[in-house]
Each structure stands twice: as structure tokens, then as C-alpha cells.
Amino acid sequence: MAGSGINNMDTVPIKILIADNREIFREGLVKLLQDQSHIEVVYQCGSGAEAIEKAKEIEPDIILMDIDMPDQDGIEAVKYINESVPNIKVAMLTDCEDEEKLFSAIKAGARGYLLKDIAVDRLIKSIDLVVEGEVIVSPPMADKLLNEFTSMKDEIDAKKTESENELSDREVEILKLVAGGATNKEIAESLVIAENTVKVHVRNVLEKLHLRNKQQAAAYAMKQGFISEIVEEKIKFKAR
């Protein structure tokens, strides 16, 4: 196959280390990549432990790593490499479509998760993009990743709704006043309570809604449709 790299002859080639315990696949991949004018395979091995050792010694630009290997699996190797030699990009190249492996690999620091049935031109393009700093995931796995993120968002939203329902009447009242721009001192005077008590209530509101500060609380209150109620509270507050 003729080289299809995007870089010209004067560009320093991308140095690649391949870690896969299946020698036949590994040798075929080496031949394929060496046909690319902008790529140089600097080492190949069959275990995670050896990949770690050679990564520190050779410092390639990118490592294509299988998951299931002897000595140390690919995900453990990615985590170690990401912590000890963070400038090296690692992309999983595997036939494993298990979503738990996908999440574990990304969490460990993998910059790509590519399935072995990937087309040659897409593999080359993915290598280029990972080296440039992008995170690349094969389409079937990207769908699983997106579904997981959506599920996580739904869970967070559900927790916020649940937490909102747990707010006491006093906390809801204080949330509206906070969103209306009242200070702790002004809230204390308006509700005839101690300023320290207001601080406690504000802290509880932030914790229950998983928010960091009053600004987020105000934004949250307005997003939840408290705007008209906030205006009414401000009118009442000013009238006192």
C-alpha cells in the first residue's frame, strides 16, 4: 500500500510503539504502518510490562495498545504510562467492545479507543489526530460513551431534583432571596433571624443542590422558574 500520510518528507515521522500479544496481527500492523511515509514503528512487543519499560526508554509519540495481554494488561499499562511519561499518547487498538473496558481505558488516560476492524485510512487519520491532541473513539464505542454520559447527566439531574424536593420551606425562601440579590445580612433582617443562621441555611441549600456558590444558586433558581416569585420577594423585601 502506498503511503497516505498527511505530512511531507521533511517532517519528523511519528514514532509508534505497538503492544499486542498476537504476533501475526502485530507483524501485519507493523508492515501496514511502515508503508506510511510519515510514520516510523520504533518498537513492538507482546506484553503490557514490556510496553511500559520500552515507553520510558524510547519515548515514542504514540503507543497502540491491546487490552488483553500477559504480565500486565493494556489498561494497567496505560495508567502507569500516563502517570510516569504523560507526554506519550496511548490509544487502545483492540477487538474488545466491552463498555466497562472502554470507560476504564479512558479513565486510565487512553487518548483513543479503536476497534481492530477499523479501515486502514481511518486508522492512519486517527493516529495523526491522537498525536495532535485529539481523543478518538471508534463509532460503535463512541455511541456507548455518549449513552453513558447521557445516563450520568440524567442521574445528576435526578439527584438535583430529589435534593430540591428535600429543601425545607425556609431554605426555599432563602434560595429565592439569594437569587434576588439579597445579602446574608439583608436576608437575616428580612426574616428576623441571626445572620449566622442564614449562612447555615445557605450552606445547606448549596450542599443539597450540589452547587458551589450563591451565583450558581441564583442561576439555578431562575432556571427552575422562580423568576416571578423572586420579583415578588424583592417587592416584599423593599416594602419592609
In a domain, 9, yes or no: no
Q: Are residues 37 and 138 in the same domain?
A: yes
Centre a 10 Å sphere on the Cβ of residue 178 and count the other Cβ atoms it contains: 24
| Region at 56 (left for phi over 0; alpha for psi -120 to 50; beta for the rest) | alpha
pLDDT of residue 94: 92
Look up the pTM and report it.
0.58
109: enclosing H helix or E strand: none
In a domain, 58, yes or no: yes
Indicate the number of domains in the chain.
2
Q: Are residues 115 and 219 in the same domain?
A: no
In a domain, 225, yes or no: yes
Q: What is the mean pLDDT of the chain?
A: 81
In a domain, 161, yes or no: no
Q: Are residues 56 and 129 in the same domain?
A: yes
163-178: average pLDDT: 78
- Integer Cα distance of 120 and 2 in angstroms: 12
Q: CATH number, domain at 199?
A: 1.10.10.10
In a domain, 156, yes or no: no
How are strands ordered across the β-sheet holding 62-65? 39-45, 14-19, 62-65, 89-94, 112-115, 136-137
Domain boundary among 114, 147, 180: 147
Could you report the per-residue pLDDT of 20-66, keeping only the tens digit for each?
Answer: 999 999 999 999 999 999 999 999 999 999 999 999 999 999 999 99
Residue scoring higher pLDDT (51 or 103): 51
Domain that holds residue 188: 166-239
- Integer Cα distance of 106 and 9 in angstroms: 33
Q: Are residues 141 and 175 in the same domain?
A: no
Q: Are residues 27 and 65 in the same domain?
A: yes
Q: How many residues does the chain have?
A: 240
